[in-house]
Amino acid sequence: KNVIQILLPGTRPFGQADLLAKGVEKAGAIPVITGVTSDPIKQIEAIDKNRSTILVGYPFYIYRVTQETKQKYSLKDLGIKAVVTTGEHIPLSVRNTIKQLWKADLFSHYGLVEMGLSVGIECEIHKGYHIDEADFIVEIVDPCTGRVLEEGEEGELVITTLSREGMPLIRYRTRDLSRIIEGRCECGSILKKIDMISKRIGTTINIGEIELYPSTFDESLFSIPEIIDYQVDVKREAERVKLIFNVEAAESEITRSMIEKIVSEHPLIQNAVSKGKIEFEIRFLSKRRINSVLPYKRSAFPLVPPFRQGTSHEMIKKDYEIDL
């Protein structure tokens, strides 16, 4: 039997981890709930003790465990056959690092609490999420007008539940941006597919004509092996905008120069940086203490706008605009 190690919160009855464990048991596998402990070594010890074969968790938490244990352990020899990530977008660079170090295939899962956590998952082709069409109808609509878009057009994902009894939802607007992938999947399945989701309505910051979203710098920054995580604070200073990159990594001039090169040459902001309309600063965070410096689940966290006067320290709910 497969042993599924669940690196998710919600160990109480009907919590996220608890519900997944029940599903794992029904599928005939053995669940082991380890949660999101602050010490990644405990996850490795649990894998060894329980002979775990599959890991399920948030991608950036699994990435943190990977980065912080790769020097001490030969991860590829621990017997993990597959990694399933859920809860947030996973950059290709993060995916490749996890796959390479664990020598395991990785499958990204898409779900929402409102939908009972599960909506779709990747197949072995890894080109989008296959939708559970027995339980959901998915549509892509224009987020401004609500007009249903054609296959291949990007818009807001709208979901209707088919089997929910306690809280059925009709054309529920997820705020996630995606598109329906045309044609039949190479894996042979007839189930409809949607593209990977990396943008969400209400999490972008518009700086003049530049649109920054939480995953803007993910692909390039996570290509630097030393980086465990990062956050960008956006501040308005006089006639320019300042991006402060808080980076969780061991400070070194090599890492700093690599980040500077990536940010200054990023196609979205390169022109504004060269004209002095956007400047940036790199700050290295100290070695994590009892808890992670940055959270185990990122969602919209990596991009923090300047807070309006009188607001609490919460992400602004709608897109934030800064004039240049």
pLDDT single digits (tens) 20-32: 999 999 999 999 9
Q: How many CA atoms lie within 13 A of 267 on its CB side?
A: 2
pLDDT band at 218 (very low <50, low <70, confident <90, very high): very high
Distance between CA 245 and CA 247 in Å, rounded?
Answer: 6
Please give the model's pTM, rounded to 2 decimal places: 0.87
Per DSSP bridges, beta strands 3-7 and 54-57 are: parallel
Residue 314's pLDDT is 37
Q: Which of 7, 4, 147 is nearest to 80 (CA)?
A: 4
Query: Tokens standing for 137?
Result: 């109808």
Q: What is the reported pLDDT for 117? A: 78
Mean pLDDT across 149-164: 95
Question: 263: closest CA among 230, 239, 237?
Answer: 230
Give 316's pLDDT tier (boundaries 50, 70, 90): very low
Indicate the burial class of 111 (C-beta count within 10 angstroms; 0-12, 13-18, 19 or more). Answer: middle
- Average pLDDT (115-124) is 91
- In this prediction, residue 321 has a pLDDT band, given cuts at 50, 70 and 90, of low
Give residue 315's pLDDT: 35
Q: How far apart are CA 160 and CA 80, in angstroms?
A: 35
**Between 285 and 54, residue with greater pLDDT:** 54
Q: Look at 124-128, 155-159, 220-224, 286-290 and tell me which has the smallest mean pLDDT.
A: 286-290
Q: Is 130 exposed, middle or buried (0-12, 13-18, 19+ CB in 10 A)?
A: buried
CA–CA distance, 9 with 83 (Å, rounded to integer): 17
pLDDT at 310: 36
Structural domains of the chain sorted by starting position, each given as residue range(s) with its CATH number in brackets: 1-110 (3.40.50.980), 126-201 (2.30.38.10), 205-322 (3.30.300.30)
171, two tokens: 């054309």
List the one residue out of 203, 281, 201 whose CA is nearest residue 235. Answer: 281
Q: What is the DSSP string of 47-69?
A: HHHHT--EEEE-HHHHHHHHHHH
DSSP structural state of residue 148? B
**Burial, 322: exposed, middle or buried (Cβ in 10 Å; 0-12, 13-18, 19+)?**
middle
- Name the helix (H) or strand (E) containing 94: helix 92-102
Predicted confidence band of residue 210 (pLDDT cuts 50, 70, 90): confident
- For residue 312, give the DSSP letter: -
